[in-house]
Structure 1
Amino acid sequence: MLCQPSVFSHRRVIRAQASLRSRIGFRDRASLRGRLAVHSSIGLGRAHIAPLLGDFAQAHTDLELSHLPLHVAGTPYDFAVRVGRLPDSRLHARLLHPNRRVVCAAPGYLERREPPRTLPDLADHDCIVIRENDIDFMNWRFGDDGDESVVRVAGTMISNDGDVATAWCLAGRGMVMRSLWQVAPLLRDGSLVRVLPGIPAPPADIYALHAAVHGLPRRAREAIEHLLDGLAARLPAID
């Protein structure tokens, strides 16, 4: 199941905040002016960040959304949207939405290959891997923070585009580890099947990162609140 009470509570709080802001906090948004520069990965940016910030920018500010290599401190970006582990403790982080990664495969692949039961079984499977954020992309992490297991997977298909990797998985060419924000609809409709469901991956939450608190422009603070509300409405609750 893709829900839990704590996340529902989190979402109710967000909706209450959104209602309050709509009544008393957003009346003067017409006064927001200036350029808003935001960094995001391609997949999440295309699916959710760009539509949400597009609505925000149309009424309130100029917008630049980029996926180019990121170092928030010392760059012209107002903030970055990041999925997963925070790269730099000097940055300020705002949780936008809880998220986890899961391993999944197409039903056709699992008909041809015995589904893995344990982490060592992954060595016998074709794993589609995604290269991103300059991390060791062949390592898949499982367990909770502080009690993790790392499995080095093997496969002949590698991409730096998560949508491409997901398409390969849907075509039955291997298993992939993807964020629930992206594959939850495919799991619900049966296009993909969750593999090793009893072994969770560490949290891969969605954050807004920025280099300063007091120096963050009001337009950026309002944009982060807009993303917080919008992602709560667009993305599923997770376990």
Structure 2
Amino acid sequence: MSALLFDFDGVIVHSEPLHYAAISETFAAHNMHFSEETYYQRYVAYADRDLFPIIARDCNHDLTAEQLETMLEEKWTRFAALVKSKGVEHFDATLDLISHAHACNITIALCTAAMRRDVDLILGQLNILSKFATIVSANDVPKSKPDPAPYSLACKRLNKSPQNCVALEDTPGGIASALGAGCKVIGVCHTLPAHRLHQATRVVASSRDLTVDAMLAMLTPLWS
């Protein structure tokens, strides 16, 4: 295992409820509505810029370029306010894994469909930004998850073969992105049940089940 690539929302932090609240309020302000169930079934893992036109079409609307930019800014304002007022839950076991992997000199990267300003806002609060050798966000790629581009770019920046990299993901779209780039993937059931993550190389109930040794035990037979 030459590098460990972490998804952000749903693996390091439990921010999807805040994203849902900010996005649903933004669309409601423009007379478009969808349920929380629909959000988790259809919309998680997409970058906002890719997601907003999809939601609009599902609501029988087409967004102009100007409307898209306006709604993205409205969502960011709402999301940032929620983060500052409510805080963001994080997964202690994932933070422990990041610290342990860092101490073991395993290269660590972040690969997310979130905007970079989301990442900086939240990881700055957690004081772990410096542990990541590189961060690939939605700002860095023309196509975000489920496209392989984010993970391909992360591996390229790290100068690591994707076949020797392990991604931690919590959604089918994220899993598809990492597999498409050639990485091994451990599905983490923080957001969705195990059957929704069945395409991952391995699936665990939570990051509490993951240590460096446990991941090596799971995946080393696949490299031999």
Normalising by the smaller structure, the TM-score range is 0.3 to 0.5
Higher strand share: 1
Larger Rg belongs to: 1
Q: Which has the higher contact order (CA 8 A, sep 6+)?
A: 1
Which of the pair is proportionally richer in helix? Answer: 2
Q: What TM-score, normalized to structure 1?
A: 0.32
